[in-house]
Structure 1
Amino acid sequence: MLIEWKAVFIDRDGTIGGTGHFMHPRDFTLFEGAQEAINKLKDAGLKVFAFTNQHRISRGQATVDEFRKQFYSFGFDDSFICPHGPDDGCNCRKPSSGMLLAAAKRYKLDLTRCIVIGDVGDTDMLAAHAVGASKILVRTGWGEGSLNAYRHKWKETEPNYIARDLKEAVIWILGSNS
């Protein structure tokens, strides 16, 4: 069954670049091929959104504006950023689905026609699962650990696809959208 995808939500750390750990936007670099992958999604007419937990914002180590500027420079249509710490009790921090729901409201999206790409099963994949979005786990960043050592934390959820990296995820998306 072909689905006409409407939007793609992409995690930052470990998915598009970095190490999986916090990196200030000024120190962050994209993985090879990540920018081309983002451009291909946009060229295909898909909305591309960043969604990321960045609790170091609450510690004053970076600002939401610094992250937003970075995401816009990469060509994202918008960014959804949770600045809260793990114990703040917000509804936006993944694995909660608040960022996805906010995007759906703002852009009038049916989340069942959207895809989430991330490297962490017990945050990215669980947030996507909660709203019925399709899920792609990349093996970069924390991806291998999510599939192996930490699989028990999200064992009830299966990704729709497991990709080597963002480039391979985009090839799968565009192939399933034609």
Structure 2
Amino acid sequence: MEIQAVFIDRDGTIGGTGHFIHPKDFKPYDFSNDAFQLLQSHGIKTFALTNQHRISRGEDLLNEFQEEFKSYGLNDAFICPHSENADCHCHKPKPGMLLEAAWKYNLDLKQCVVIGDVGSTDMLAAHAVGALKILVLTGWGKNSLEQYRHSWKDVDPDYIAENLLEAVRWLLKID
């Protein structure tokens, strides 16, 4: 498969604990920048893919997240600012952000990858569009596989990685 783009979840995948951390306080894991650089050195577009409902409550600003993702060298960020109870098309597990990216960048989502730590959002969104699904065990990853597996039992990840760097190395077939 020729990979056109990789979509990466923020909280628990790029850094943090899986819980929300404001962009000014958010720190990527030590290995995340290496993962971004590997993807970029292989000419693969990299996009953030994240639900950030605190924007809808006025606790954060969309541009704060956009600036954060730009600082990592990502090509773009697809951010759902809506409450999880809003009837929007973009809040993962709905695939709206992926569909928007496909339209904006002329992507075949079956040639794209979603890397995230939550099966019931990241893996379901990827599955809805036929993208390759990689679950990382950082953040909510272990709980997603064990305690919350019932919430996405009909979907299997294509690969389970310890972290984002391992996921990227597997994807690029680097030992």
Residue number in structure 1 paired with 2:33:
35
Picking from 72, 82, 87, the partner of 1:89 is 87
Residue 99 of structure 1 pairs with residue 71 of structure 2: no
Q: State the TM-score, normalizing by the size of structure 1.
A: 0.97
Residue 152 of structure 1 pairs with residue 150 of structure 2: yes
**1:170 shift after superposition:** 0.5
Superposition CA RMSD, Å:
0.8
Residue number in structure 2 paired with 1:62:
60
Q: State the TM-score, normalizing by the size of structure 2.
A: 0.98
Aligned pair count reads 174
**1:159 shift after superposition:** 0.4
Q: How does 1:116-127 map to 2 (within 5 A)?
A: 116-127=114-125
Picking from 117, 132, 135, the partner of 2:133 is 135
**Uncovered stretches (5+) of structure 2, i.e. residues with no partner:** none
For residue 40 of structure 1, what is the amino acid of its counterpart?
Answer: L
Cα deviation per residue 1:104-144 (whole Å; 9 max; x = unaligned)? 00000000000000000000000000000000000000000
Cα deviation per residue 1:67-105 (whole Å; 9 max; x = unaligned)? 000000001100000000011110000000000000000
Alpha-carbon distance in structure 2 between the residues aligned to 1:67 and 1:35 = 17
Alpha-carbon distance in structure 2 between the residues aligned to 1:157 and 1:57 = 29
Residue number in structure 1 paired with 2:11:
13
**1:32 shift after superposition:** 1.3
Residue 74 of structure 1 pairs with residue 72 of structure 2: yes
**1:165 shift after superposition:** 0.1
Residue number in structure 2 paired with 1:173:
171
Residue 164 of structure 1 pairs with residue 144 of structure 2: no
Q: How does 1:107-122 map to 2 (within 5 A)?
A: 107-122=105-120
Identity of aligned residues (%): 60
Q: Secondary structure at the match of 1:135?
A: strand
**Uncovered stretches (5+) of structure 1, i.e. residues with no partner:** none
For residue 41 of structure 1, what is the amino acid of its counterpart?
Answer: L
For residue 160 of structure 1, what is the amino acid of its counterpart?
Answer: D
